[in-house]
Amino acid sequence: MDRVTVADIEPAQRRIVSLLPSATEILFALGCGPRVVGVTHECDFPATARTRPHLTASALPAAANSRELDRHVRASVHAGSSLYALDSAALERLAPDLIVTQELCAVCAVSYAIVARAAKQLRGDPRIVSLEPSSLEDVYANIETLGELTGTAGAARDLVATLRARAAALERLGRTGPRPRTLVLEWSDPPMSGGHWTPGLVELAGGSPVLGNPGANSQTLAWSDIAAADPDVIVVAPCGYGIEAALRAAAELEAEPAWRTLRAVRAGRAFALDGNAYLNRPGPRLVDTAELLASAISDEPIGAALTDRDALRRLEPKRSQPV
């Protein structure tokens, strides 16, 4: 009997493993949830995704502050060690036809090399798709790609059209008045700029991105450069941190003298954002992220800030700060 390949299986019948939280969100939004047979330990949206078997685990220390985590990550990457473990035996048992992964960031998810190595041991011939978005437009393209691969092209077109309409409405709001200079920190200690899609989201939200790195990885910033830029609005959204962890990371910034002198901090225009749910996941909720950024920039709740009131928190200025 000839070996069955993924090309022999109808797209609408393919069993799917998602090794990327943003891909999991896309797949469920396209109605593919029943066919998603395995996910990562970080796939928590929608809530149903949490019921799928977890195929990964983190190698990061459970209790560490921002500086300690950064040192651990840098040491692991320098040594060529993975920050994630993949359960190859569970992957084989699930027998997927389609595996969705990424090569964009060794820190964000299990690496493509590890996935490809495990896939070679499978009895079937699954297709591995790597998503590499660097902008909101790339996310739209990824949604349509997954739609084609899963037999949900129509749903993908509808989803992209809806997201584009929301983005266009937000862009129209941001055309009036000056654009506040906005700094997004994707890590706090050391401070790191917002890269890839983040500067574009700031512009969509009505701000002017400061010290960003569009289309590329986040970069470490010097406090002297942050002080010289002196942004009007600051959003602290550490990668992988929920809102409570983001608030703790922002509190750590109080120990930095330059932080306390920034106009955004003194004026109460500094915010913590749930980066794990929004900014760091290049999926459908990036439009929600733009709405949350717009809420910080305009100082008025917009869109997602009205439906998820815990996602964005203002950082209260300290009374002892210089004025």
Q: Is residue 55 in some structural domain?
A: yes
Q: Is residue 162 in some structural domain?
A: no
Domain that holds residue 124: 6-132
Beta strands in 111-269 (DSSP E): 127-131, 181-188, 191-193, 195-196, 208-209, 213-214, 233-236
Q: Is the pTM of this model over 0.75?
A: yes
pLDDT for 80 equals: 47
Give tens-digit pLDDT for 3-17: 445 555 788 788 999
Q: How far is CA 213 from the centre of its chain?
A: 15
115 and 202 both lie in a single domain? no
| E strand or H helix at 27 | helix 21-29
Interior angle at CA 222, CA 213 and CA 238, nearest 5 = 60
Task: Determine contact, residues 191/270, Cβ cutoff 8 Å.
Answer: no
For residue 185, what are the β-bridge partners? Answer: 193, 236
Q: Is residue 155 in some structural domain?
A: no
**In whole angstroms, what is the distance from residue 251 CA to residue 248 CA?**
5
**In whole angstroms, what is the distance from residue 189 CA to residue 304 CA?**
28
107 and 193 both lie in a single domain? no
Last residue of a domain, one of 132, 162, 195: 132
**In whole angstroms, what is the distance from residue 26 CA to residue 92 CA?**
23
Structure tokens at 297: 């920039």
Q: Is residue 167 in some structural domain?
A: no
Q: How far is CA 238 from the centre of its chain?
A: 10
Strands 84-86 and 56-58: antiparallel
Last residue of a domain, one of 68, 103, 132: 132
Low-confidence ranges of the chain (pLDDT < 70): 1-8, 59-83, 104-109, 111-112, 318-323
**In whole angstroms, what is the distance from residue 41 CA to residue 70 CA?**
21
pLDDT for 175 equals: 72
pLDDT for 70 equals: 56
Q: Which domain CATH number covers 72?
A: 3.40.50.1980
Task: Determine contact, residues 167/136, Cβ cutoff 8 Å.
Answer: yes
**In whole angstroms, what is the distance from residue 14 CA to residue 2 CA?**
19
pLDDT for 139 equals: 97
Q: Is residue 36 in some structural domain?
A: yes
Give tens-digit pLDDT for 89-133: 999 999 999 999 887 665 566 766 777 777 777 777 788 999 989
pLDDT for 119 equals: 73
